[in-house]
Amino acid sequence: MFLKKLSLINYKNFTSKNFEFDSKINCFVGDNGVGKTNVLDAIYHLAFGKSYFNPVATQNIRHGEDFFVIDGEFLKNDREEKILCSLKKGMKKIIKRNGKAYDKFSDHIGFLPLVIISPADRDLIIEGSETRRKFMDGVISQSDKEYLQNLIKYNKTLAQRNSLLKYFAVNHTFDKTTLSVYNEQLQEYGSKIYRKRAQFLESFIPIFKEQYQAISGGKEPVDLTYDSKLIHNDLLTLLEQNLEKDRAVQYTSVGTHKDDLSFSINEHPIKKFGSQGQQKSFLIALKLAQFYFIKKQAKTTPLLLLDDIFDKLDENRVAQIIHLVDEENFGQIFLSDTHADRTENIVKNIHQSYKIFKL
């Protein structure tokens, strides 16, 4: 699968811009603020129906305008696929495939497998558990529609249970029967989510470790572990055990929405004990493992977006990444860099065709 053409209208800093891409490597070079990352984000938008960097949809419309349109022409399984994503202020976002609008955005997820590696990924290390759960859910959902549906249903039920807990507190009332209906639904969806995450990590962790060793030259042992209260108890038991606490705080304090991933290097938390280079290598290894996992599950090669990844990495690690990317397992790659010369030197060492776009 590859992206042949991209057209942007009123998207972020672009008034109107068209690109025709190489089927292998495409580089966007230029100073900070010229829109290199915005082009990558537009490609991400076509795959996921949302921005990777800005969750507020209307803020992706060019300042002073009232709509944006992103139009992409892909070649997948020898078929041309036209994907359009548009938003007008005050209206719902639209995603169309070959002229037909999707009823549910979730039906589009996974159709265009894509992995992005960006400086913003540092949030996976420094932010709270929600960021790491989103990463895990995003990887699984790209190739598992049932998982995505269970996640949507779980979150909807969770919101309803939380509203009920608030209602009880405000009205000084309590109805255990109504609450038990939500508990059973959370148990049903939550246990499926937990099992899928555990299965996923069993396959994913060895791939991740292999990628980290390849990037770091095998210097430091790294690990990631799944933290979930469901390892030792079923969700129904946990909800009953925490009922008084939930009533006091007016929200659901246990469940798969509290799961986390622990990242470590040399058996210590990478957040505290990893250098900038080690943290960056850890994140790149995570994302490359995501790439290989999705490739295997989706039976097609995902697009790979590399946003400014050569910054803050020593030459050895850059060389290792280039060596990895030079293998035949990769399809189409998009990368951004502020140093045009550095980019040209890097892509010349990769034995693939390439195009450089100076913005």
Average pLDDT, the chain: 92
Per-residue model confidence (pLDDT) at position 72: 97
Confidence of residue 355 (pLDDT cuts 50, 70, 90): very high
For domain 1-113+300-359, give its CATH number from 3.30.200.20, 3.90.650.10, 3.90.400.10, 3.40.50.300.
3.40.50.300
- 105-130 pLDDT, tens digit per residue, is 889 998 999 999 998 899 999 999 99
Confidence of residue 271 (pLDDT cuts 50, 70, 90): very high
Neighbouring C-beta atoms of residue 89, cutoff 10 Å: 11
Distance CA(230)–CA(238), nearest Å, equals 8
- In the annotated binding site for ATP, the residues are 30-37
- 278-294 pLDDT, tens digit per residue, is 898 899 899 999 999 99
pTM score, whole prediction? 0.88
Q: Which tokens sit at 173?
A: 């009332």
Over residues 326-335, mean pLDDT: 81
Kind of pairing between the strands at 94-97 and 79-88: antiparallel
CATH number of 126-298: 1.20.1050.90
CB–CB of 75/112 below 8 Å?
no
CB–CB of 43/304 below 8 Å?
no
Confidence of residue 353 (pLDDT cuts 50, 70, 90): confident
* pLDDT over threshold 90, residue 339: no
* pLDDT over threshold 90, residue 202: yes
Between 342 and 198, residue with greater pLDDT:
198
Task: State whether the Cα torsion 111-116-122-123 is positive or negative.
Answer: negative
Per-residue model confidence (pLDDT) at position 352: 81
Distance CA(131)–CA(117), nearest Å, equals 15
Over residues 55-69, mean pLDDT: 95
Q: Which tokens sit at 1?
A: 């699968």
Per-residue model confidence (pLDDT) at position 196: 97
Over residues 214-226, mean pLDDT: 87
Over residues 263-267, mean pLDDT: 95
Per-residue model confidence (pLDDT) at position 315: 65
- In the annotated binding site, the residues are 30-37
Per-residue model confidence (pLDDT) at position 166: 97
Over residues 76-92, mean pLDDT: 95
CB–CB of 290/139 below 8 Å?
yes
* pLDDT over threshold 70, residue 341: yes
Listed range (152-161, 211-220, 317-326) with the worst mean pLDDT: 317-326
CB–CB of 189/221 below 8 Å?
no
Specify which residues 7 forms β-bridges with.
18, 71
DSSP secondary structure letters along 129-189: HHHHHHHHHHHHHTT-HHHHHHHHHHHHHHHHHHHHHHHHHHHT---HHHHHHHHHHHHHH
CB–CB of 58/89 below 8 Å?
yes
Looking at the chain, which residues constitute the CATH 1.20.1050.90 domain(s)? 126-298
Looking at the chain, which residues constitute the CATH 3.40.50.300 domain(s)? 1-113+300-359
Per-residue model confidence (pLDDT) at position 113: 93
